[in-house]
Chains A and B, each alone.
Chain A
Amino acid sequence: MISFPLSVLLIPYAVIVAVILFFVFINIKNLARYRAEDVISFGALLIFLIGFAILGYFSCQYLSSINWTEQISMTLPSIKVGL
């Protein structure tokens, strides 16, 4: 039987969020590089960032209610080795 804190789940989450943020950065860079003066691109960027901020806010709200220090126990299947 092994036990680990629930916060272990946050490790893969953080990796995926980092990848998503990388894509956000690349997209904004592409937009800024080729259409910086455009009103439509500015509006789209603003909507995108507001949406992303809302997503981040709700993620924080819901995830902060969880006790991440809670220990989780898992029972490993027993392996019997015999000749």
Chain B
Amino acid sequence: MGIIHLKKLISQKGYEKIKKVVRRDKIVLVIQLFYFMFLFLAPVVLYFLFKNYLPIIWAHNIWHPALLLGISIYYSAVWVFLFATFLDYYLDTWIITNDRLLNIEQEGVFARTISELDLYRIQDATSEIKGILPSLFGYGNVYIQTAGEKARFILEQVPNPHELRKKIMDLAEEDRKFHKNQ
């Protein structure tokens, strides 16, 4: 399978230009990294809690190798999941052009969804900042409703959602004018 570049995904129309590339807010990734920090530190905490029992375990002919194998698997798994979490964050992208809105979403390890909608079809957009952390760091969701579609297009946990909604609506207005003139 060949490599798919973002530019190739959107350079199908000659007049199309990228206006904005949006990802989830960096703080979302930082919060997730904190969870992984806890997972990394959990065995260290357990070590101090059960320090007195360690000589017994170390002397045991089965528990000692079993514990080492377990620790090896645990840290390998946590490291791989940490990388997968980064990928999930990094490969989720919304590309806003002067013609379309593309949603490129990595869903877990095995699924990737690419969807798009024409800006001139946007009827309304709603932005929300809801919750303690989103209010603190200024990230939230933008919901986009298009004509004739029940499902909404959602830009999740994006930075400055109110500004983004305004920008999308401005671009949609411009695109509508362009399509009217054609």
- Chain A residues within CB distance 8 Å of chain B: 6, 9-10, 13, 16-17, 20, 23-24, 26-27, 30-37, 40-41, 44, 48, 51-52, 55, 58-59, 62-63, 66, 68, 70, 72
Partner of B90, one of A10, A20, A37, A44: A44
Give the contact stretch, choosing among B76-84, B129-137, B156-164.
B76-84
- CB atoms of A37 and B5 under 8 A apart: yes
Given contacts A9-B65, A9-B66, A26-B109, contact A52 B79 (CB under 8 A): yes
- CB atoms of A72 and B72 under 8 A apart: no
Chain B contacts of A41 at CB under 8 A? Answer: 90
Partner of A20, one of B68, B77, B110: B77
Chain B contacts of A68 at CB under 8 A? Answer: 65
A61 to chain B, nearest CB (A): 10
- CB atoms of A13 and B73 under 8 A apart: yes
Given contacts A9-B66, A36-B3, A55-B79, contact A27 B109 (CB under 8 A): yes
- At the interface, yes or no: B112 with Cβ under 8 Å from chain A? yes
Residue of A nearest to B2 (CB): A33
- CB atoms of B61 and A27 under 8 A apart: no
Task: Please name 19 further chain A to chain B contacts, defined as beta carbons within 8 Å, in addition to the given A20-B73, A63-B65, A72-B61, sorted by A numbering.
Answer: A6-B62, A13-B69, A13-B73, A23-B80, A23-B109, A24-B83, A26-B109, A31-B90, A32-B3, A34-B6, A34-B91, A35-B90, A37-B5, A44-B86, A52-B80, A55-B76, A59-B76, A66-B65, A70-B61
Chain A contacts of B4 at CB under 8 A? Answer: 33-34
Given contacts A44-B83, A70-B61, contact A52 B76 (CB under 8 A): yes
* Complex Cα gap A48–B90 (Å): 14
- Chain B residues within CB distance 8 Å of chain A: 1, 3-6, 61-62, 64-66, 68-69, 72-73, 75-77, 79-80, 83-84, 86-87, 90-91, 104, 106, 109-110, 112
* Complex Cα gap A68–B64 (Å): 12
**CB<8 Å pairs between A and B, sample of 27:** A6-B62, A13-B69, A20-B77, A27-B80, A27-B83, A30-B87, A31-B91, A32-B3, A34-B91, A34-B106, A35-B91, A37-B5, A40-B90, A41-B90, A48-B83, A52-B80, A55-B79, A58-B72, A59-B72, A59-B76, A62-B68, A63-B69, A63-B72, A66-B64, A66-B65, A66-B68, A72-B62
